[in-house]
Amino acid sequence: MKRPEMSLPSIDDLFTNQEQRDEMSLEKIVNIPIKDIVDFPKHPFKVNIEEDLLSSIKDKGVLVPAIVRKKADGTYEMVSGHRRKKASEMLKLETIPCIVRDLSDDEATIIMVDSNFQREKILPSEKAFAYKMKLEAMSHQGKATSRQVVDKLKSVDIIGQTTNESGRNVQRYIRLTELIPKLLEMVDNDTLGLTPKMALSPAVEISYLTKEEQNILLDSMECNDCTPSHAQAIRLKDLSKNQKLTPKLIEEIMEEEKPNQDIKLRISLNKISNVLPKNLTSDKEREDYIVKAVIHYDKFLQKKREKKQVER
């Protein structure tokens, strides 16, 4: 006759009561020295510190604990709370309240991405690398496979649900990670209202060009002081795909006049260098100075015409 199996209580069960065991299972907030916390590897978000955050932490301390995970060497890795940590460092604080979680690399990546997407303003480059990191983490977890495109589409749809973005748009942002840094910076500039800038749609098409072709395109863009339209970007992509894109073709396409393109006046610097202040070091500074000078001269002429009318 088979003897029934008996389960022996653990040491913890023998020497603790249920209330103590429940307490042990709860996450605790602990103050950890900031010097013992390192940033998340390849953190894709810029750590910008607003004055409101600094003021709040200075007056009330860090109200929302950061999330960290313990490393093998005894230090901690920041998962969520990079801005709170940076602001605390700026205020010369020694510790920051944290929740320590036992997380795998993929679990930590997903929490890091999702927590940072709570920000009000996120740059296209930040979205691009964050979406890519989360997609790779989900793939490792078995939520997507590389065998079928449909699985990948399901994954980007899941990712998009957390940010109110379509799966298709998530894929488009991930494509931006294939851009060379200077072109990607232009896409960010379009969001920030800075120049030089490039819209998302043409940038996605250009991401299919090789890195060498992108560098040639960048030179042509700078030389012609323009960016490709969506239609031009599609042509560049198709030519590249068919291995027919040459530096000459890139230059010809970028020299084309675009609809609604601003008319640009080009002036040789040699002709006006003698009358420009020496402290103007960039083209933008020189352009602003010339525009102000023309406006000032126009006002001078207007006053001169008004004075002649009065004299008559």
pTM: 0.73
For 170-225, write each residue's pLDDT tens digit.
999 999 999 999 999 999 999 999 989 999 999 999 999 999 999 999 999 999 88
Both tokens assigned to 56: 């709040």
* Residue 42, Cβ density class (10 Å: 0-12 exposed, 13-18 middle, ≥19 buried): exposed
Mean pLDDT of 19-34: 74
Ordered strands of the 29-33 beta sheet = 29-33, 95-100, 66-70, 76-80, 37-38
Mean pLDDT of 133-149: 69
Mean pLDDT of 23-33: 79
For 43-94, write each residue's pLDDT tens digit.
999 999 999 999 999 999 999 999 999 999 999 999 999 999 999 999 999 9
Q: Which of 141-150, 208-217, 232-241, 263-272 has the lowest mean pLDDT?
A: 141-150
* Residue 298, Cβ density class (10 Å: 0-12 exposed, 13-18 middle, ≥19 buried): exposed
Q: SS3 of 97, please?
A: strand
Q: Which of 17-31, 113-127, 251-265 has the lowest mean pLDDT?
A: 17-31
Q: Computed from CA positions of residues 128, 129, 133, 139, in that sequence, does the dihedral angle turn out positive or negative?
A: positive
Distance (Å, whole) CA 143 – CA 69: 23
Q: Computed from CA positions of residues 58, 60, 66, 70, in that sequence, does the dihedral angle turn out positive or negative?
A: positive
What is the structure's pLDDT at 3? Answer: 57
For 267-308, write each residue's pLDDT tens digit.
666 677 778 887 877 777 777 888 888 888 888 888 777 777
**CA angle in degrees (0–180, nearest 5) for 81-52-101:** 15
The model's confidence at residue 150, banded by pLDDT at 50, 70 and 90, is very low
Q: Which CATH class is domain 17-103?
A: alpha beta
Host H or E run for residue 66:
strand 66-70
Q: Residues 247, 248, 249, 254: what is their CA dihedral angle, to the nearest 10 degrees?
A: 90
Beta strand 95-100 with 29-33 is: antiparallel
**CA angle in degrees (0–180, nearest 5) for 136-139-141:** 115
Query: What is the pLDDT of the chain when averaged over all its residues?
Result: 86
